[in-house]
């Protein structure tokens, strides 16, 4: 079996509220992650959603250890740097799999999660990032519930987009003339990972 983690980070501030563009200075409000096992065909066997507020992050890192793939959207440029002041040494060296990075390398430009999910799945984000920051600032029970729901919904959306890419080997988008297009993707694992997971399954 293969272990995967799909995660998303929400921050306490917007870039307009800090002096530079370093995500590490935004502060973390909440991190949500979906931890699951998949078989050799990359079909989910079992999974569970977790969410951790800033003061709970020390309990989160164990879920990343041992994962064969850590999946996210714009994680290389945003989520991983945003976690810099919280994460253990070597977190950025783990097997991260950034869907946005792969799309950018393929097309030469970036597309948002909301755009790709909308065109590919007919699904959209539950809210917007600016509201997520406001929810954190208010910090009343209702606002925190909305923030947690938003972060977990982003994880679910990322998981669904990834799973579509695994099965269909493409994602969908609109070009600048609003023509529907497909991006070919290969989300398969190297054979070495498959072989290792089979070995583990023998014991």
Coil, strand or helix: which one is 55? helix
| pLDDT tens string 7-39 | 999 999 999 999 999 999 999 999 999 999 999
| pLDDT tens string 165-178 | 999 999 999 999 99
For residue 202, pLDDT beyond 80: no
| Whole-number Å distance between alpha carbons of 32 and 152 | 6
pLDDT, average across residues 129-151? 97
For residue 200, the model assigns a pLDDT of 61
Contact 47, 33 (CB under 8 A): no
Coil, strand or helix: which one is 56? helix
For residue 194, the model assigns a pLDDT of 85
Three-state secondary structure string covering 85-153: CCCCCCHHHCCEEEHHHHHHHHHCCCCCHHHHHHHHHCCCCCCCHHHHHHHHHHCCHHHHHHHHHHHHH
Q: What percent of the chain has pLDDT over 70?
A: 98
Domains of the chain: 2-201 (3.30.420.10)
| Strand-pair category, 69-72 with 2-11 | parallel
Give the list of residues 6+ apart from residue 201 with CB closer than 8 angstroms, or none.
1
Q: What is the pTM of this model?
A: 0.95
For residue 201, the model assigns a pLDDT of 55
For residue 31, the model assigns a pLDDT of 99
For residue 37, the model assigns a pLDDT of 97
Among 17-21, 90-94, 114-118, 198-202, which is the least confidently predicted range? 198-202
**Element containing residue 32 per DSSP (H, E):** strand 28-38
């Amino acid at each position: 079996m293969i272990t995967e983690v799909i995660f998303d980070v929400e921050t306490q501030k917007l870039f307009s509220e800090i002096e530079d563009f370093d995500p590490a200075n935004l502060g973390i409000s909440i991190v949500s992650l979906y931890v699951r096992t998949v078989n050799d065909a990359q079909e989910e066997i079992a999974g569970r959603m977790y969410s951790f507020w800033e003061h709970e992050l020390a309990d989160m890192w164990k879920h990343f250890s041992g994962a064969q793939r850590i999946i996210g959207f714009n994680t290389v440029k945003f989520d991983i740097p945003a976690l810099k002041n919280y994460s253990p040494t070597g977190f950025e060296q783990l097997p991260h799999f950034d869907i946005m990075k792969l799309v950018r390398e393929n097309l030469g430009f970036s597309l948002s999660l909301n755009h790709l999910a909308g065109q590919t799945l007919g699904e959209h984000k539950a809210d917007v990032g600016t509201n997520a920051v406001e929810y954190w600032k208010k910090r009343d029970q209702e606002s925190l519930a909305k923030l947690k729901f938003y972060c977990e919904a982003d994880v679910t959306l990322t998981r669904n987009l990834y799973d579509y890419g695994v099965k269909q080997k493409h994602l969908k988008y609109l070009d600048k003339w609003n023509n529907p297009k497909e991006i070919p993707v290969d989300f398969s694992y190297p054979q070495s990972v498959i072989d290792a997971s089979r070995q583990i399954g023998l014991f």
